[in-house]
Amino acid sequence: MKLELYASEGVEIQDHLRIYVQVRNYLTAKCRDEVEWTTSKCHGEQHISSILKDTVNPSYLEVRDISGGCGSMYEILIQSDNFKGKSIIQQHRMVKEALAEEIKNMHGLTIRTSVPK
C-alpha cells in the first residue's frame, strides 16, 4: 500500500505530521491485530516533552513511545523557530543535547525536526 500526503493551501505542517503519525500507528497496530487509538501520554513521553518545551521552545511537539510502552524507544516530531538557519544535523544535536541524560537509558530514538513556515 502506498500512502502519499500532499501539502495543500491552508493546511499546516503539524496537521500533516499528526496525520502521518496516526496513519503509521494505525498500520503498525493493524499488522499486530490490535488497533489502539490513544491520546494519553505515558510518563516517559510527558517527561521528554517537558524537557524539550523548556529547552527548544517548540511551536509543535509530538513525542511517542514506540517501544510498546516500556520507554526504550521514542519518536520525536518537533518544530521550532530555534532551528532556523541550522542544518538538520545541528537541529538534531540540539534535541539530543537537551535529552542527554534520558538518551543514556534509551535503546533508540527517531527525531524529525522542522522549521515553521
Q: Is residue 88 one of the residues assigned to a domain?
A: yes
Calpha distance 82→16 (Å, rounded): 21
Q: Is residue 12 one of the residues assigned to a domain?
A: no
Domain count, the chain: 1
Query: Residue 117: is its pLDDT beyond 50?
Result: yes
pLDDT in tens, 10-52: 556 677 677 777 777 665 554 444 434 444 567 889 999 999 9
Q: Is residue 65 one of the residues assigned to a domain?
A: yes
Q: Which residue segment(s) compose the domain that 86 sits in?
A: 39-114
Residue % of the chain over a pLDDT of 90? 55
Stated as kind and residue range, the H or E segment containing 110 is strand 108-114
**Cβ 20 vs Cβ 5: under 8 Å:** yes
Nearest to 75 by CA among 61, 87, 89: 61
Q: Is residue 32 one of the residues assigned to a domain?
A: no
Q: Is residue 4 one of the residues assigned to a domain?
A: no
Q: Is residue 81 one of the residues assigned to a domain?
A: yes
Q: Is the pTM of this model over 0.75?
A: no
Q: Which of 37-41, 62-66, 104-108, 109-113 has the lowest mean pLDDT?
A: 37-41
CATH code (residue 91) = 3.30.300.90
Q: Is residue 86 one of the residues assigned to a domain?
A: yes
The values of phi and psi at residue 91, to 5°, are -65, -45
Calpha distance 87→93 (Å, rounded): 10
Q: Are strands 60-65 and 73-79 parallel, antiparallel or unpaired?
A: antiparallel
- Residue 34 has what pLDDT? 41
